[in-house]
Amino acid sequence: MAQDELFKNIIAHTKEYGYIFQSSELYDGLGAVYDYGQYGAELKNNIKQYWWKAMVQMNENIVGIDSAIFMHPTVWKASGHVDAFNDPLIDNKDSKKRYRADVLIEEYREKLNQKIEKEVEKAQKRFGDSFDKATFVSTNANVLRYQSEIDTLTKRFQAALENSNLEDLKQIIIDCEIACPISGTKNWTEVRQFNLMFGTELGSVAGDSSTIYLRPETAQGIFVNYLNVQKTGRMRIPFGIAQIGKAFRNEIVARQFIFRMREFEQMEMQFFVKPGEEMKWFEHWKTVRRNWHLALGFSEKRYRMHDHDKLAHYANAATDIEFEFPFGFKELEGIHSRTDFDLSQHQTFSGKKIQYFDNELNESYVPYVVETSVGLDRTFLSLLSNAYAEETITKEDGSTDQRVVLKIPAPLAPVKVTVMPLVKKDGLPELAREILKSLQFEHNCQYDEKDSIGKRYRRQDAIGTPFCVTVDHDSLTDQKVTIRHRDSMLQERVSISELEKIISYQVSMTRLLEKL
Ligand code: GAP
């Protein structure tokens, strides 16, 4: 299936099955803002729990906080967001559509990469087992031409971004002959900078002094609480402060469903280290965070590391963990070495000393920071992209059937188990409800007695329930039930007295955490 068709199907599926709705749909929706439905909210909570346990609970030197969304306006002056949190935008004069200039160029470069991959695939087919990829990419004329174009473009692009050279960004778009995907023309406006923060007024007095911002990242809530946490928690360096919370950005080019939203959630951790040790920790957190994604058990090939072309105003090194979404490889998480930029800025702007006294060195310093920042919504989308499958299945009588199944890792699945009486009579519903009650203390469960068992399985597959438990007439005498496994569709007969233990083991978050 084509990737854009797959993406459309995923979006439609999330709406049909109560995962994600367009915000204010009743009023024709609000662009790039989404609501999570009954299953979406559960999945989101489970992802948060997985992150919190992995980052806070499993690390004795990391603590979690929950800071306010509104902060003193000077925070954003100090952090550099008022002056530098901009996107370079360009409009196509014919379609009147607006784009991020840097994204247009990145997409063009990605197309060149794909051309190289196609050449490699073709050659691989032609040469079979004797194919030597390294020799091929270093000698094939087409590959060398594409690679040389990528290298030249990357150099020029990086320089334009570093120097905020908006004219050259436009010139790159012209020189690469990048056309508007809507109008197909190359009739572009100049590139302009656009600040992404949402401002609002605090209290009833209008004017600049009372303008406050909806936070564009949760990180600043951690920085301004650095001293509070370090002192009250008697934290010794190296240590981390984590939090999960909403962030807001006035994204002008807001497409691709929940990938780029105006209101979204971040899971961020700031790790405070001794100056000079930041690159060691930067490498450490790159590995740790990559493993967190891989522990979900999906193909490693869908994740890759990508160093930034342009460093944010606060960073001296930055790498993205990219995921292959249905619309290509894109940023899922950022790992940033933020130096002492933020704490030093807050020290200057607040006039208060923000330092750490290092007993070993017998001196004070402003700690350096390595940050891990992952979007909750993007993690959600990566999970759905991995989990969504359309399958043809062969039934016992040899006929075939279609199913759409969400193969979400069991510890994260919104509903863990659905209990079903085979028929709605003969005491089966009563026993099924008894079993349901015993499982509900620990797990989010459902009860379903409508339609045939086959239809009930399909409904549970579609929302990603890993286990269905069927109560039949034999259950009344042998005190056993049938567990049906979502992915393999295999069924096994187990004692009712063993059921809770079996399910609890499979859906426990420990199954993910022990892989880290
Ligand atoms: N504190 C650093 C920071 O905010 P970032 O790379 O701008 O860095 C971190 O954002 C993560 O937040 C991204 O990797 C992405 O997962 C998520 N994110 C950023 N903007 C987003 C948006 N508009 N919609 C959804 N997620 C977003």
Residue nearest to atom 12 of ligand 1 (CA): 375
Q: What is the pLDDT of residues 304-320, one digit of tens each?
A: 999 987 787 778 899 99
Question: Beta strand pairing status for 20-22 and 34-36?
Answer: antiparallel
Q: Which residues have any ligand 1 atom within 6 Å of their CB? A: 217, 219, 249, 251, 260-261, 264, 266, 268, 331-334, 371, 373-375, 377-378
For residue 266, the CA-to-ligand 1 centroid distance in Å is 7
Residue nearest to atom 15 of ligand 1 (CA): 375
Residue nearest to atom 20 of ligand 1 (CA): 260
For residue 267, the CA-to-ligand 1 centroid distance in Å is 9
- CA 197-198-200 angle, to 5 degrees, is 135
Q: What is the pLDDT of residues 318-377, one digit of tens each?
A: 999 999 999 999 999 999 999 999 999 999 999 999 999 999 999 999 999 999 999 999
Best mutation site among 79, 85, 264, 342 for ligand 1 pocket (most ligand atoms within 8 Å of CB)? 264
Angstrom distances, CA of residue 4 to CA of 32, 254, 326, 328, 391: 18, 17, 7, 10, 18
pTM of the model: 0.88
Q: What is the pLDDT of residues 407-428, one digit of tens each?
A: 999 999 999 999 999 999 999 9
Q: Cα–Cα distance between 93 and 98 in angstroms, integer?
A: 9
DSSP string, 316-337: SEEEEEEEEETTEEEEEEEEEE
Q: Please state, for a pLDDT cut of 90, what percent of the chain lies above it.
A: 88
Residue nearest to atom 4 of ligand 1 (CA): 217
DSSP 419: E
For residue 375, the CA-to-ligand 1 centroid distance in Å is 6
Annotation: CATH topology of 409-513 = Rossmann fold (3.40.50)
Atom of ligand 1 nearest to the CA of 320: 14
Q: What is the pLDDT of residues 211-231, one digit of tens each?
A: 899 999 999 999 999 999 999
Q: Which of 160, 9, 24 is nearest to 462 (CA)?
A: 9
Phi and psi angles of residue 317, each rounded to the nearest 5 degrees, phi first: -160, 145
| pLDDT at residue 161, rounded to an integer | 85
Q: Give the number of other Cβ atoms within 10 Å of residue 475's Cβ.
A: 22
Atom of ligand 1 nearest to the CA of 216: 4
Q: Cα–Cα distance between 6 and 172 in angstroms, integer?
A: 32
Exposure string of 336-348, with b = 16+ CB inside 10 Å and e = fewer, is bbbbbbbbebbbe
Q: Cα–Cα distance between 505 and 516 in angstroms, integer?
A: 17
| pLDDT at residue 204, rounded to an integer | 63
Q: Cα–Cα distance between 328 and 204 in angstroms, integer?
A: 46
For residue 380, the CA-to-ligand 1 centroid distance in Å is 13
Q: Cα–Cα distance between 276 and 273 in angstroms, integer?
A: 8
Phi and psi angles of residue 423, each rounded to the nearest 5 degrees, phi first: -130, 165
C-beta of residue 272 within 8 angstroms of C-beta of residue 356? yes
Annotation: CATH topology of 1-72+200-390 = BirA Bifunctional Protein; domain 2 (3.30.930)
CATH number of 86-195: 3.30.40.230
Residue nearest to atom 6 of ligand 1 (CA): 334
Exposure string of 281-290, with b = 16+ CB inside 10 Å and e = fewer, is bbebbbebbb
Best mutation site among 290, 373, 377 for ligand 1 pocket (most ligand atoms within 8 Å of CB)? 373
Which residues in the chain are classed under CATH 3.40.50.800? Answer: 409-513
Which residues in the chain are classed under CATH 3.30.40.230? Answer: 86-195
pLDDT band for position 210 (cuts 50, 70, 90): confident
DSSP string, 349-371: HH-S---EEETTTTEEEPPEEEE
Token pair belonging to 435: 């079993």
| pLDDT at residue 201, rounded to an integer | 86
Q: Which of 315, 157, 180, 332 is nearest to 260 (CA)?
A: 332
Calculate mean pLDDT across residues 232-242: 97
Which residues in the chain are classed under CATH 3.30.930.10? Answer: 1-72+200-390
